[in-house]
Structure formats: structure tokens, C-alpha cells
Structure 1
Amino acid sequence: MKFPVLKNDRLLRAARGEEVDRIPIWIMRQAGRYLPEFRELRSKHDFFSICQTPELAVEVSLQPVRRFDLDACIIFSDILVIPQALGMTVEMRPSIGPVLPNPIVSPDDISKLDSRADICKKLGYVAEAITLARHKLDGKVPLIGFSGAPWTLMGYMIEGGGSKTLSKAKAWLYENPESSKQILKLLTDAVVDYLIMQACAGAQLLQVFESSAEHLGPELFKTYALPYIRDISSRVKTGIKTKGLDDIPMTIFAKGAHYALKELAGSGYDVVGLDWTIRPEDARAIIGNSVTLQGNLDPCALYAPQNELKQLAKDMVNKFGKIRYIANLGHGIYPDMKPENVEILINTIHES
């Protein structure tokens, strides 16, 4: 598949540990509710209709790239398209967020999942959106594809939505260890197929979101998250080579997994994303320069006065250092954020 020549490859170079002329920056959830142009489009379309309509998904993906001097575009989608592909109903309810009205309650419910689902067929609309986005970007910046990680997806599928404790999902790990591994293996297979499909469609970097790692301690993470995270990176990279594609950098973002930074650095990913609750210098001391670090400004820092925001951004860069570093927030941007503050952050990073 032939695409326009890439003009800004800072993100990819930084991910591979190569020199860059300035620190690259993109922002998790950079396409979404804080932008007035997104809210206007969203008022006319259901959330998952946007995800499932390539033209709309691409329009939303490109909105922040048109507005800001970002170094990457991320395809607009949702991690819960995988449970959808496996036969679960997922709704996006106003003021609530994602809801799965028929969650997995007992091990018997696993048989209700479509374990033979053709992920590439079910989620082909994401591939179409990625290919279209690559052409619409015209090489301006690289395009990021992504997926949720198995433990995070399992949490939603059992809890029936977001949870502050994930107590139902964690209970499964203790009460139904083999059934838990059965679900995680099913999800891992789906994620692998999904990410290889995205690479074939034109994604230039792939990020895996283990957003619920903070609910696991070291032992549970070692048993129920890390093996599947490692399996994904290994199988996706092998699958990409088998397809005759060039190597594509991969990022693992495990929110709250301070206890596993060394293990994450050795899990086969090129980039380790960090949340805002760890000091950059501590993360660098643990990981060194073996992989690229990404992050990790507190999303709430964007509420700060402009001068303070600039100083916070400069301090972050100084603490990480400019080698093997991608600037980002420590989690997704909040929906009431002022776009002008986002611009200040981006410009400050580029000037650092």
C-alpha cells in the first residue's frame, strides 16, 4: 500500500532512540471532547457511529492536528471495540461513559463470547479509517493505532463499565484463576489480530493501553497482565514482519504500574508510557536509556496559569532529558480543558 511521504518523523525517531531536532509531543485523547469542533460533530452523531464511520473517525482524528503543532495523529476509536467484536453490547451513555449492560458474571458466561470472531472483519472499519487518515494526513505527521490491553478490557467486561476499585474483576483473579486466564488469552488473541490489522492498514506506531494496571499489585500484575502484554508485543512484531512490513515501534502505557517499570522496559516495547504519579528522574533511573520514555505531565497541570504551566513543562523535559523521550500527559486530557492551554504546552515543549 502506497502512502504519501512522511515529512515529520520525530515521533518515530524518538521511539527508536534516534536523534531528533526537537522533542516530539502528542497528547492522549487529543481528539475529543475538549475541542469545540468535536462537540459540534458529536451533537449530530452517536459516539460509536463516529468510531464505525471511517470518514467521521478520520475527521475527528485530524481536528487536533489541524489546530496544533503536534508531532502525531492518533486514530479516533475506543478500546471497547474489542468486546463489541466478541459479541458484547457496549453503550456510551451521557455523563456516565461506557456501559456494558450484560457483563460477564460467571465462568459459564465465557461461552457466550464469540471466540471465533473474525476480528479483522468485525473491526474492518478501523482499518479503513487508518488508511484514509494516512492519505488525508498527506505525510504531515505519523499515525498512531492502539488497543486496550487484556486486563483492562477484562475489567470492563466483568464490571459492566468503569469502576474505582475493579473489585468484581479482581475477585475473578482470586476465585476463578483459570477462567480469568481463559478470558485474557481470548482477548490477547483478539488484540494481536487487531494490531497487526492496523499496521497493515497504515498505522506507523502502535500503543497498548493497560489503563487499569493501578488496580493490581506486583504479584497480580506479574501473573495476569505482564505475560499477555509481552505476548502481544512479540506476536505483533513477528506478524508485522511476516506481512512484509517494516518494523513498527510499539508503546506500552500501564497506568499506575510503578512497581513493574523494570519488567515493562523488558517486555518487548520500544516506548514505556508513564502516568503523572512517578517522578521522571526515578523512572529514568530504573529504566535508563534502554527504551524511550513517554509522558508524564499531570493532566490537571493544564488548568494552571500560563506561566506556571510553561515552567511545569520545562521542568518535566529537564527531568526526563532529551534523549529517548516523547512528551505527553500522564493520562488523557480532560473534557473541559481550554484548547489555548494545550497550545501553550505544545509550544513550550517544542521550545525546550
Structure 2
Amino acid sequence: MLRRQGGVADSRGVTATPPPGAVDTEPTSPFLRACLGLPVERTPVWLLRQAGRYMPEYRALREQHSMLELIRSPELAAQVTRMPVDAFGVDAAIVFSDILPTLVGMGLELDFVDGDGPRIGNPIASPRDVDLLGAPPAEETMSGTLGAIRLVRAELESRDVPVIGFAGAPFTLASYAIEGGTSKDFSRTKAFMLSEPAAWKRLLTKLATVQADYLLAQARAGAQALQVFDSWAGRALGREDYLRYVAPHNRELYAAVARAGVPVINFSLGVSAYLPEAAACGGDVVGLDWQLPLDEAWHTVGFDRPVQGNLDPAALLAPWRELRARIDDVLDRADGRPGHVFNVGHGLVPQTPVDNVRRLVEHVRERTSV
């Protein structure tokens, strides 16, 4: 859990000065205050995939640059990161990147195919493939994202808009690495997990180590909060397999990242059947998808734990009257408790009307202002 005071131990156990992103005990940012469970003047709001294809200015950039070009350029990534802050006044800026580029540094070949999603050119198919994976420092392999964080932090500091860094959870990254891209049934991943348990353990341990290093590097670069995305474990695995094959590695990751000195958000998609177990893996804030009502999910993890969520992103495709009612339902279920960050329960889709995003942010701000 978050350490609000004191030094930060590096990988050698040496205590060092807290990173630039380290949070003080009384931040003024509504987002950071909510992440710490402190009272706020209004409910903070930001949105998963808030900088994306639904924005005309983003689409204009994508006509000129590939996805990887945007991610690897600090200036371009910073420009995209700022877009929703400038357009809508959201309360936090999540750095523009993706969970997959860290796999490139490990030795996998990544490309983003328009209309078809990410593709791994040399997917993992054997224990030997696992053993060949490297684990270079994030400063060497993810310099573009780290540079973008530094730029955005400097640009948004005066506006009291924190920067969020992020990474993928071990199972989600393993599924991409084994399937070679997205999957409907995760059959290759589960076959590898069940038939090669020792290699599976080595793979997830290596992924947890690389992601922890990357998250800590983002905090050192100036990220004031961190989020871990576990997008696929909840969709692929039942409770017992999750506890046996995934949870130990998630706990490793969160334990390592706890020393960053910033709030860590644990976002696991589709884990309603074992939400307490997923939340118990670690993190300061529990990111909730839309599958359970907010009050029920919050009660499940404990009202003393800050939560983030949990509007169905498809609600933004509805007419404003229906969208407003659903926003109000989430806020009513939060009931003014400290520790709520308003968000969607998964990423915004490309068809999302820009005006609905604007009206959502304005409505949350107006509805919850003291």
C-alpha cells in the first residue's frame, strides 16, 4: 500500500529520496485526494482511453503517424496526453502509450495493424521462448513514454492536473505474447499455462519484474499515480485458476510497485466472481468495471478502500437524458463517500460522441461540487 512519508527503497534495498511523483499527505488535486481517501470539494473525473479515436484532433495525428510513432515520440505522446485535459478539463492525464511496447524490449516483435489491433510477430510457443526473453531496464526501452511523462508533468503542474503512468498485468501481457494478438477464447494461453506450469511461472515472474521496473521508472519520471491494467484474466479464467496461476504474480507486482510512493490503481476487468481476491492482490485504489453496481462492488472490497469507476462506456453512446441518468446512478451509489474517482468501467469506444464526454465531465463536476 501507499507509503506517504519517508524514503523509497531501490532494487538493491537502498533508501533514496522519494521520486518526483511522490504524493504528499495533503495534496490539493481532487484526484490525488480521492486516491488517498481524503475529503474532496467535488468528485474527480477522468476516463479510460480519454485520448483516443473518438477525438478529431487525435485522428488527425494518426493520419500522419503510426501508433508506435506516437508512443515513441515524447513530444507527440505528450501532445495526445494533454488533449482531453485541454478539451474537457478532466482531473488527471494518463500518459498516452500502450501496455504492449515493453514486450519489444524483452525480444518480441510488435506492430499495430489498423482495424486489426496489435500483432506479435514471434509469439511464445515453448519454454525455450520464455527463457530467451530479456529484461532490460525501462529507461532503455521506454524512453519515449518516460520523456512524455516529464513533459506533461512540467506542463500541467501549474494546473494541478496529475499525470498517471500505467502498465499491463502479467497475465494480460502473457496472453498477447502467446496468442500473438487478441483472442476470443485464450486457448493457446490456457494450454501453455496448464501444460507448461514451470515455464508459465517463469514467464509471469519475468513479466511482473519488467512491469514493476517500468512502473517505478514512470514514478521517477514524474507520474503522480500508477495504474495496472489486467484486461483479460477475468475474462479467461475462473476463480481457482486465477488464484493458482495469476494472483501470486499480481501480488509480486503490486508489492514491488508499492515503494514508488504514489497511489497505485488495481484495475482488473471482468473479475466480479472473485473481486475480493483480485483486489487483495494489492494497490491503493480498486478500479471497478461496470458489471456490478458501484455500491455493491465498493461494499465487497470495503468502504475504507478508495475505488474508481464505474459507468458502462457504452452509456456514452446513448442520448444525453439516458446518459445523465446513468451518471447520476453511479454518483448516487457512491453516496458522497470519500475515496471515489468517477470513471468508466472500460475504455471509451471510437464511436463515442465528443459532446457526451464534455457533458459528462461538466455534469459530474456540477452535481458533486460542495
Among 9, 27, 31, which residue is 2:47 paired with?
Answer: 27
CA separation of 1:15 and 1:273: change in aligned 2, threshold 3 A: same
**Paired residue secondary structure (2:307):** strand
TM-score, L = length of structure 1: 0.94
User: Corresponding residue for 1:129?
Assistant: 148
Among 241, 248, 254, which residue is 1:220 paired with?
Answer: 241
Aligned positions of 1:191-210 closer than 5 A? 191-210=211-230
Among 252, 270, 273, which residue is 1:259 paired with?
Answer: 273
User: Corresponding residue for 2:302?
Assistant: 288
Conserved? CA contact 2:36–2:306, under 8 Å: yes
User: Corresponding residue for 2:109?
Assistant: 89
Give deviations 1:186-214, integer Å, cap 9, x for gaps. 00110111011000000000000000022
How far apart are the structure 2 equivalents of 1:139 and 1:291?
29
User: Corresponding residue for 2:343?
Assistant: 328
Aligned positions of 1:1-352 closer than 5 A? 9-115=29-135, 117-140=136-159, 141-213=161-233, 214-238=235-259, 240=260, 247-323=261-337, 324-352=339-367
Q: CA deviation at 1:266?
A: 2.8
How far apart are the structure 2 equivalents of 1:85 and 1:151?
18
RMSD between superposed Cα atoms in Å:
1.7
How far apart are the structure 2 equivalents of 1:166 and 1:139?
45
Tell me, which stretches of 5 or more residues in structure 1 are unaligned?
241-246
How far apart are the structure 2 equivalents of 1:68 and 1:8?
20
Q: CA deviation at 1:29?
A: 0.5
Give deviations 1:255-284, integer Å, cap 9, x for gaps. 001122222333331111111111212212
**Paired residue secondary structure (1:327):** strand
TM-score, L = length of structure 2: 0.89
**Paired residue secondary structure (1:146):** strand
Structure 1 residue runs of 4+, over 6 Å off?
none
Conserved? CA contact 2:20–2:220, under 8 Å: no
Count of matched residue pairs: 343
User: Corresponding residue for 1:244?
Assistant: none
How far apart are the structure 2 equivalents of 1:202 and 1:252?
19
Name whichever of 223-232 and 260-269 sits farther off.
260-269
How far apart are the structure 2 equivalents of 1:233 and 1:118?
18
How far apart are the structure 1 equivalents of 2:206 and 2:290?
31
Give deviations 1:230-274, integer Å, cap 9, x for gaps. 211211123x3xxxxxx2000010000112222233333111111
Q: CA deviation at 1:2?
A: 7.0
How far apart are the structure 2 equivalents of 1:290 and 1:263?
16
Give aligned-pair identity as a percent: 40
How far apart are the structure 2 equivalents of 1:39 and 1:262?
39
CA separation of 1:210 and 1:8: change in aligned 2, threshold 3 A: same
CA separation of 1:318 and 1:203: change in aligned 2, threshold 3 A: same
**Paired residue secondary structure (2:158):** coil
How far apart are the structure 2 equivalents of 1:253 and 1:33?
22
One-letter amino acid matched to 2:33: R
How far apart are the structure 2 equivalents of 1:208 and 1:263?
16
Conserved? CA contact 2:266–2:282, under 8 Å: no
Conserved? CA contact 1:265–1:291, under 8 Å: no
CA separation of 1:8 and 1:72: change in aligned 2, threshold 3 A: farther
How far apart are the structure 2 equivalents of 1:268 and 1:92?
31
Name whichever of 136-145 and 68-77 sits farther off.
136-145
One-letter amino acid matched to 1:281: D
**Paired residue secondary structure (2:309):** strand
Give deviations 1:18-65, integer Å, cap 9, x for gaps. 000100110000011110000111111111011000000000000111
Tell me, which stretches of 5 or more residues in structure 2 are unaligned?
1-18
